[in-house]
Structure 1
């Protein structure tokens, strides 16, 4: 019985490692594509037991959003998705509390992505 529990725990741990690596690979590919489109701002919300949010925004020369991605979730099944509703909006016009009125984590991540610029 104990050997079966140990085997199940090892299988679960190995599965998490493999699927976590798969998630990171998907995110890195999407992020690399984003970085090729312009200067990138990145924001991440914190939280241990609530869904974490990562938002990355690519800005063109006029500081308009030309591409974006958001990854939100607790599990390894979260995938990076574009925030198409933000494309074309200027950095100065972004208002996180208006864009995400009911999601404090998304507001925090977007606020950080607006401030931080990597290019």
Structure 2
């Protein structure tokens, strides 16, 4: 009986690993798409036995959000979906737009916006040092 349980647990572990591979492949595909924008930001909130979220924002040179996608959930079946609520908005307006969105998703989006702004600060530092 114990051997059969060990085999089942091992098989489920292998399936989980395979599904994780496809989830990472989905993330890398989305990231490649966002690298075409002027700048982009990634925000992540890890869920330990709870809901986690990853947000990717594509920003143009005027700090407007051109594209936004979110992956949220508790399993390896979660995939990115478009976040039309943010498209066309300025990155400075993000905080006021996110009222009513669940906490992990909101935190991931705010971290992505902060990440994109850090890129902008780094670019300014490089330009001023030249």
TM over 0.5: yes
RMSD of equivalent CA atoms: 1.6
For residues 39-58 of structure 1, the aligned pairs below 5 Å read: 39-58=39-58
- Residue-pair matches, total: 118
> Based on CA coordinates, which of the two structures has the bigger radius of gyration?
2
Per-residue CA deviations over 1:63-94 (Å, capped at 9, x if unaligned) read: 10111110001100000111112111011111
Moved segments of 4+, more than 4 Å? none
- Report what 2:36 is aligned to: 36
- Report what 1:80 is aligned to: 80
Indicate if the aligned counterparts of 2:47 and 2:74 stay in contact, CA closer than 8 A. no
1:104 maps onto 2:125 in alignment: no
Per-residue CA deviations over 1:84-108 (Å, capped at 9, x if unaligned) read: 1211101111116x42424111221
Q: Which consecutive unaligned segments of at least 5 residues does structure 1 have?
A: none
Find the aligned partners of 1:68 and 1:80 in 2 and give their Cα distance: 10
